[in-house]
Amino acid sequence: MTKIILDLDTGIDDTLALTYALASPELDVIGVTGTYGNVLIETGTRNDLAILELFGHSDVPVFTGEPHASTKDSFEVLDISAFIHGKNGIGEAEIPDPKGSVQEQSAVDFLIDSVNTYGDDLVIVATGPMTNLAAAIAKDPSFAEKARIVIMGGALTVPGNVSPWAEANINQDPDAANALFRSGANVTMIGLDVTLQTLLTVKETAKWRELGTVGGDFLAEATDYYIKAYETTAPHLGGCGLHDPLAVAVAVDPSLVTCLDINMKVDCEGETRGRTIGDEEKLNDPKKSMKVAVGVDVERFLHELMERITRLAADTPARES
């Protein structure tokens, strides 16, 4: 079993990432670290705790991370984030308030301690802004050398989704993402290049509703909200992008994607701020620290997602009639 920490801004597709991880026998979820992004950090960690309890995993600890970008002193949810994920981050679906609360230790310290304890046996999957990871690198110079990281973020061969250049997670804190990319850390980038090829429709969410369980109802309601938002923002796709769960799926099985070995950077100045692109200064460096996914086995991933998450949702209490 591989130990995994999920760094989430929960978020509807973050919810699917978390449930995919919980449903994967190959993974031991040792913690969730919260970040801001789709929602305020307090909303995100509330969702993490509530979802963990709903799916019978209240033993997984949740840690609070940095509340805003590394170059800012506050954070406000963007209108587009609230439109796509709902004001509460989970498509206005209502699930019971969590009984548990966040840990005292900070997310950054938990990330550092875990990497020092477990080394290669641990994978960190980050599906929000890269602020917590950059803070861990700044605090512990050995973090970048030791950590194995998969991120959902960026776009190499396709345009961004918040601007022609920038993808949403990178856009929240381009400086943090640049610090991560240029740190030499072992990072696999799961960007829009592949996540926008993996789509879910109401045909699949109907299967979760048919289970007649509280977990199935919750996932169907939240994901239908997300699918509806995509009908407005990206009608040409015909479904919602499975961004964050694909990153978890790749942590389980890297053969789901084909990758380009490359050294990357993030533009931090000018109109291309937030663009993820090859680092020209390291073009001739024979050592490539990053892998960028450029191809994905869509059918196999969708099969794994439906199989795993449906099994997890089936195992929650029956809905009250």
| 33 touches, from ligand BDR, Ca ion, none (C-beta below 5 to 8 Å by class) | none
Is residue 44 a contact point for Ca ion (CB under 5 A)? no
- Which of residues 49 and 168 has its CB atom nearest to ligand BDR in the complex? 168
| 167 touches, from ligand BDR, Ca ion, none (C-beta below 5 to 8 Å by class) | ligand BDR
Q: Which residue's CB comes closest to Ca ion?
A: 127
Looking up tokens 């099969």, which residue turns up? 303
Contact (CB, 8 A) for 156 and 276:
yes
CB of 179 to ligand BDR, least distance (A): 19
| 161 touches, from ligand BDR, Ca ion, none (C-beta below 5 to 8 Å by class) | ligand BDR
- The site for ligand BDR (CB under 6 A) is made up of 11, 13-14, 38, 127, 152, 161, 167-169, 243-244
Burial class (CB in 10 A: 0-12, 13-18, 19+), 175: middle
| 168 touches, from ligand BDR, Ca ion, none (C-beta below 5 to 8 Å by class) | ligand BDR
The CA-based dihedral angle spanning residues 313, 213, 43, 305, taken in that order and rounded to the nearest 10 degrees? 20
Is residue 172 a contact point for Ca ion (CB under 5 A)? no
- Which of residues 66 and 279 has its CB atom nearest to Ca ion in the complex? 66
Six-digit token pair at 200?
Answer: 């879910």
Six-digit token pair at 146?
Answer: 């030791």
Six-digit token pair at 106?
Answer: 């900070």
Contact (CB, 8 A) for 88 and 47:
yes
Give me the 78-117 binding string for Ca ion, x by CB under 5 A, dash otherwise: ----------------------------------------
Is residue 127 a contact point for Ca ion (CB under 5 A)? yes
The secondary structure of 244-310 as a DSSP string is: HHHHHHHHH-GGGEEEEEE-EEE--SSTTTT-EEE-GGGTT-S---EEEEEEE-HHHHHHHHHHHHH
- Which of residues 47 and 161 has its CB atom nearest to ligand BDR in the complex? 161
Burial readout 63-100 (b: 16 or more C-beta within 10 A, e: otherwise): bbbbbbbbeeeebebeeebeebbbebbbbebebeebee
303 labelled catalytic: no
Segment near Ca ion (CB under 5 A); pick from 12-20, 154-162, 222-230, 294-302: 12-20
- Which of residues 130 and 147 has its CB atom nearest to Ca ion in the complex? 130
Is residue 215 a contact point for Ca ion (CB under 5 A)? no
Coil vs helix vs strand at 186: strand
- The catalytically annotated residue of 7, 9, 13, 173 is 9
Is residue 7 a contact point for Ca ion (CB under 5 A)? no
Give me the 216-255 binding string for Ca ion, x by CB under 5 A, dash otherwise: ----------------------------x-----------
Question: 238: which DSSP letter?
Answer: S
Task: Tally Cβ neighbours within 10 Å of residue 135.
Answer: 22
- The catalytically annotated residue of 140, 243, 244, 297 is 243
Closest C-alpha to 98, from 34, 53, 147, 144: 53
Is residue 48 a contact point for Ca ion (CB under 5 A)? no
Out of 4, 5, 12, 14, which residue is the one contacting Ca ion (CB under 5 A)?
A: 14
Cα separation, 5 vs 62, whole angstroms: 10
Q: Which residues are catalytic?
A: 9, 243
User: Footprint of Ca ion on this chain (CB under 5 A)?
Assistant: 9, 11, 14, 127-128, 244
